[in-house]
Structure 1
Amino acid sequence: MATTPSTSKTVLVTGAAGGMCAGINRRLAEAGHTVLCVDLDPAAAKRAADEISAAGGQAASFEVDVADEASVQRLKEAVTSEIGAIDALINAAGILDRKYLMDHDVASFKRALDINLVGPFAMIRTFGPELVQAGSGRIINISSIAGTTGYPYPSYAASKAGLSNLTRSLLLDFWGTGVTVNSICPGVVDTPMVIQEVRDQVARKVPTGQIVDPAEIGALACFLLTNDARNINGADLLIDGGATQLFQLFDRPATAGADA
């Protein structure tokens, strides 16, 4: 693993034990950043941190339930006590509740919003002041193209649409502070969460014909942490192989250049 550069940052990643975060964590560590692996499952968070440490990187683990404001506050106290201030926050914790409208009740719908939308809000509200103090803090929300296109599972689509709009709305709060707030919006990502039926549609629905590797999301996150990205702010950054541009409108042409 590369030697930690002078531009290394302390990056807190929620949902760090999830499949997508394996690639994010690895890329952050390879870039020389210290990764704080935070998850609802403390044992899984520790395994994620241990993997980074075993590869020569710097990492620590913490427990949090992002849907519980008191838990978020306890996390803040623990991180401050054991690590100090953070330089960047990546909100990657989330759930995909595969329920259609009539399968949901209000409680299950709210639970998805609590984790996918209220959780990032609570994390940003809690850690935002120290990101401002850093003068160049970074907030990265892992949203989804589902927030733009819609999705068969309404709680997921609604929460991700809200997260992307929260990203844009927070520009006022961080105006002039040096803190940037952006969303990464993946398409179909190669994680255990993706069912085979969806994988089978990638060649037909995604212009590049490729599923997104989690490491690609990590690479984009690493770029957003750099000074070269200081003027990327309030953006929904798509990493979907072009799927959003043609979502549910066209299938792949039968032959190259064929009329749609």
Structure 2
Amino acid sequence: MQKQRTVLVTGAAGGMCRGINARLGAGGHRVICTDLDPDAAERAAQAVRDAGGMADAFAVDVSDPGSVRALAGDVRERVGEVDVLINAAGILDRKYLADHDDRSFERTIDVNLVGPFRMIQTFAPAMVERGWGRIINVSSIAGVTGYPYPSYAASKAGLSNLARSLVIDFWGTGVTVNSICPGVVDTPMVIQEVRDQVPRKVPTGKIVDPDEIGGVALFLIGEDAKNINGADILVDGGATRYFQLFDRP
């Protein structure tokens, strides 16, 4: 049995986080479910509690510095210090290069990359002070292989490289930072056209279940993963080892 940790998950109401929240709760950890939508955050927390786990709900807009600061204060007051930060909040803007304007591109970067950076800046210092912490960025194979939608691909590539780079900042502190890079995960965000390509473009022929992402997150929190640091952990059925998941449009 792992030592109980307090784990803050951003974007906790999203489809992929169903598996993350559930596995963390079942593993005995206290889950802080945060989301832009406060009602959705509460529903996510209630699902953990209904399954016998411990969970709290908070609203946050990771693209808003004031909202992140307020979250840190509220969490510290109601729950205490955060041991593990999982940056899972993200948006996918299905626009090709010609379809983007400055603001649409920046919005994706703000949420998917600057938001996690801001969360790490806010919550990591206390981990360093206590000499233990885990930071997990939910990236994507889109940041490893390229992707038709440039704002999403750029944001996820940046997110993975942020994790790789921060191992220097956290040198000798007891804090590790890694990225989980999912392939096609069974969530409402995945359109049918993508699902239809899985049998011929994913070597396992299977779509990823959110529970599998949760299992990887649970492992990274445990002591068996204490020397995994700065890694991109692909959970994609081998798709990135075959060829691009998408055909050229």
TM more than 0.5 = yes
Whether contact under 8 Å (1:87, 1:134) holds in the other structure is no
Pairing of 1:89-128 with structure 2 (within 5 A): 89-128=85-124
1:225 matched residue in structure 2 = 221
For residue 246 of structure 1, report the CA deviation from its aligned partner: 1.1
1:17 is aligned, of 2, 13, 17, to 13
2:181 paired with 1:181 = no
2:143 matched residue in structure 1 = 147
For residue 133 of structure 1, report the CA deviation from its aligned partner: 2.5
SS in 2 for 1:170: helix
For residue 154 of structure 1, report the CA deviation from its aligned partner: 0.4
User: CA–CA distance in 1 between the matches of 2:236 and 2:219?
Assistant: 17
2:61 paired with 1:65 = yes
Gaps in structure 2 of 5+ consecutive residues: none
For residue 135 of structure 1, report the CA deviation from its aligned partner: 1.8
**AA aligned opposite 2:64:** D
For residue 132 of structure 1, report the CA deviation from its aligned partner: 1.2
Could you list the per-position Cα deviations for residues 191-246 of structure 1 after superposition, in whole angstroms to 9, with x for gaps in the alignment? 00000000000000000000000100000000000111000000000000000011
1:210 is aligned, of 200, 206, 211, to 206
Identity of aligned pairs, percent?
70
For residue 249 of structure 1, report the CA deviation from its aligned partner: 8.9
Change (3 A) 1:202 1:40: same
User: CA–CA distance in 2 between the matches of 1:172 and 1:207?
Assistant: 35
2:154 matched residue in structure 1 = 158
TM-score, scaled to structure 2: 0.97
Gaps in structure 1 of 5+ consecutive residues: 252-260
1:201 is aligned, of 187, 190, 197, to 197
Task: Give the count of matched residue pairs.
Answer: 247
User: CA–CA distance in 2 between the matches of 1:159 and 1:151?
Assistant: 11
For residue 134 of structure 1, report the CA deviation from its aligned partner: 3.1
Could you list the per-position Cα deviations for residues 62-84 of structure 1 after superposition, in whole angstroms to 9, with x for gaps in the alignment? 01000011110000000000011
Higher alpha-carbon Rg: 1
2:187 is aligned, of 191, 194, 219, to 191
Whether contact under 8 Å (2:201, 2:243) holds in the other structure is yes
SS in 2 for 1:172: helix
SS in 1 for 2:153: helix
**AA aligned opposite 1:136:** W
Which runs of 4 or more aligned residues in structure 1 lie more than 4 Å from their structure 2 counterparts after TM superposition?
none
User: CA–CA distance in 2 between the matches of 1:159 and 1:243?
Assistant: 20
For residue 136 of structure 1, report the CA deviation from its aligned partner: 2.0
Change (3 A) 1:43 1:6: same
Moved more, 172-181 or 5-14: 5-14
Whether contact under 8 Å (1:95, 1:112) holds in the other structure is yes
User: CA–CA distance in 2 between the matches of 1:122 and 1:96?
Assistant: 19
**AA aligned opposite 1:191:** T
2:77 matched residue in structure 1 = 81
**AA aligned opposite 1:235:** A
For residue 6 of structure 1, report the CA deviation from its aligned partner: 6.2
For residue 250 of structure 1, report the CA deviation from its aligned partner: 11
